[in-house]
Chains A and B, each alone.
Chain A
């Protein structure tokens, strides 16, 4: 489903954001991407939706060769990979409803059908009563849910969540993580970047640990699988 093979990313400053990183995530998996700030978690996400190109290595998402993807196919890729951005990237001059509607507008879904889909997803994330509010009127946890709703509204195969609990209190963080694991149970592959150790430990999912652009540890489960392949 997702495969990074010996990927390096050298930035314009000459520093390596990632160095020789190989990760693979199977369909329907829930994977934590753990590491301190600046470790390269966001860089991996940006590479996966081809916001940036790697300096070396190959990336496969959903059978797509991301590095050599023709320009006109990038939008297809991004519709299949929902992203909850670290800074959310909600449009401040649109209501929550309109923000969540945006991916449907972009993909040309007919508007009546789209409205119903948005209502459903807002209900699912518990924001139905806030749908006509603007982002400034919502709390951090609610904004996070709105961003998740927007990432999910096109029913993507993969959901990338970049520190979705970054500046939330413990209780709200748990609600978000619960929401993400529900989504995962329904079949969406979820990759969540975080540095919240409590959440990672208690959920018991596979953890990829990355520091300074290098993989420190990719959990046992993974190694077992690879052994089997050999």
Chain B
């Protein structure tokens, strides 16, 4: 109780140092939050694509309905196909209109003629996508095949890279914040050298002297984590409508309150660890 009071007094008495410590912690946790959003979001996108093993084959404009029907029969005969759906030019237009209903300019520009008709094919097994897409590509009426394994593998490699970058950045920023906090707490210890000396001489234990500084470090960490989390969560909420229309129906957003709470919990835990490490380093470096 007393240590907390002393810590609070030390914080109030040097607001600029406190601000510097809190800001660097805030920056660290902003980055932690944003990269968590990116990594979690992109792995949700990957899951979405993986759960829908699909090949989409677009037909050439001049392809006849009879050729399309015979292709459908050939494919169904392989026994690998779970479902095959013909999307006509009109259906394609409906889908397009639905996706862009908020943007009249885009709607005006497009008619059913511009959009190709297509097959949406899903297989029982994700491994069969490759052979099905090969078969489609050989067909003379097919102009283009989108084979979502490509999407998944591209996304996976992007996510992997992002995760590595995120981890590197978080480690770097954590180190920076620890060193800055060590310096700030070190300055505070030096400022109070005389007080500390007097307290020792009248019988204060080492821990009595150390505790306020350790609590101070923990305080900076927790406040920084809270501020960083609030800023990043607010910006995520703010960007949600825009991101949702960008992701076009892939169920990533809105982020659930539970997930955000878990993130906050994890960040506070990390903040306490960083705060304690910094204070301990400072205390053992400057308080012999």
Contacts and interface: CB of A to CB of B under 8 A. Distances in A.
Interface of A: 49, 51, 71-72, 75-79, 83, 85, 89, 91, 102-103, 105-108, 150-151, 154
Contact of B198 (A72, A91, A108): A91
A106 B199 contact: yes
A105 B195 CA distance: 14
Interface string B184-210: 000000000011011111111110100
B51 interface: no
Contacts of B203: 75-79, 103, 106-107, 154
Nearest to A150: B202
Contact of A103 (B2, B197, B202, B205): B202
Contacts of B204: 75, 106
Nearest to A72: B205
Contact of B201 (A51, A76, A108, A154): A51
**Interface residue tally on B, bucketed by range:** 10 to 19
Chief secondary structure at chain A's binding surface = helix
B12 to A, nearest CB: 13
B199 A102 contact: yes
B212 to A, nearest CB: 12
Nearest to A107: B203
B191 to A, nearest CB: 11
Contacts of A83: 201-202
A38 to B, nearest CB: 21
A78 B206 CA distance: 13
A179 to B, nearest CB: 19
Given A75-B204, A77-B203, A107-B203, 20 more contacts: A49-B201, A76-B203, A78-B200, A78-B201, A78-B202, A78-B203, A83-B201, A83-B202, A89-B197, A89-B201, A91-B195, A102-B198, A103-B202, A105-B2, A106-B202, A106-B203, A106-B204, A106-B205, A106-B208, A151-B202
Contacts of A78: 200-203
A15 B181 CA distance: 41
A107 B205 CA distance: 9
18 contacts: A49-B201, A71-B206, A75-B203, A75-B204, A77-B203, A78-B202, A79-B202, A89-B201, A91-B194, A91-B195, A91-B198, A102-B199, A103-B202, A103-B203, A105-B2, A108-B2, A150-B202, A151-B202
B201 A75 contact: no
A151 B202 CA distance: 8
Nearest to B208: A106
A84 to B, nearest CB: 11
Contacts of A71: 206
A49 B202 CA distance: 9
Interface string B163-195: 000000000000000000000000000000011
Nearest to B2: A105
Contacts of A106: 199, 202-205, 208
B202 A102 contact: yes
Nearest to A156: B203
A61 B199 CA distance: 20
A103 B205 CA distance: 11
A154 B203 CA distance: 10
Contacts of B206: 71-72
A77 B200 CA distance: 11
B205 A75 contact: yes
Nearest to A88: B198
B206 to A, nearest CB: 8
A103 B201 CA distance: 10
A151 B203 CA distance: 11
A71 to B, nearest CB: 8
Given A72-B205, A75-B203, A78-B203, A89 B2 contact: no
